[in-house]
Structure 1
Amino acid sequence: MQEKTITLILGGFGLVAALAWNEAIKSLFEELFEKSGTLISKFVYAILVTIIVVIVSMQLKKISKKK
């Protein structure tokens, strides 16, 4: 029970950190693209985030298989 609680708390902290990074990256894209909020910039952002998530997920899966 205690291990599950710790896992849930850490998941919550991870979500907070992810939201902070989301805002930071969105601000970066607003600076990089002259017309912030354009459809193209939103798709570029979504694709970039998806690629990062897939790479991190694959690495975590490799690590979990080693154990």
Structure 2
Amino acid sequence: MKNSNTNMDGLRKEPDEIKKQIKRQTLGYIAAAFGLVAGLAWNDAIKSLIEYLFPLAQNTLFAKFGYAALITVVVVAVTIYLGTWLKDEKSQ
């Protein structure tokens, strides 16, 4: 009988945990959406700067690939840093 009561307590706590997880996931998706919007705004601004600095008659393709490579390196570095930061926080 004691085992049955333990299972019932776990079932009562489960909906609260599910609600918390749904809130966390929803907030994560909202933050990602805002990040995407900000990233698109910066992308457009930087593309305009490249077109201003390197008019169409010049080497714009090279500049765009350079920009893409630079952004890729920055994103990978930030992702690695955040991954190690989250690991450190979880281990504490």
TM-score bucket of the superposed structures, by smaller chain: 0.7 to 0.9
Aligned to 2:32: 11
Aligned to 2:43: 22
Measured at CA, do residues 4 and 55 of structure 1 come closer, stay the same or move farther in structure 2, by a change above 3 Å? Answer: same
TM-score, normalising length: structure 1: 0.81
After TM superposition, what 4+ stretches of structure 1 lie above 4 angstroms from structure 2? Answer: none
Q: Relative CO higher for 1 or 2, CA cutoff 8 Å, sep ≥ 6?
A: 1
Larger radius of gyration: 2
Counterparts of 2:25 and 2:62 in 1: how far apart (Å)?
41
Contact 1:29–1:41 (CA<8 Å) still a contact in 2?
A: yes
- The Cα of 1:25 is off from its aligned counterpart by 1.2
Instruction: Give structure 2 stretches of 5+ with no counterpart.
Output: 1-21
**Paired amino acid for 2:38:** A
TM-score, normalising length: structure 2: 0.63
Instruction: Give structure 1 stretches of 5+ with no counterpart.
Output: none
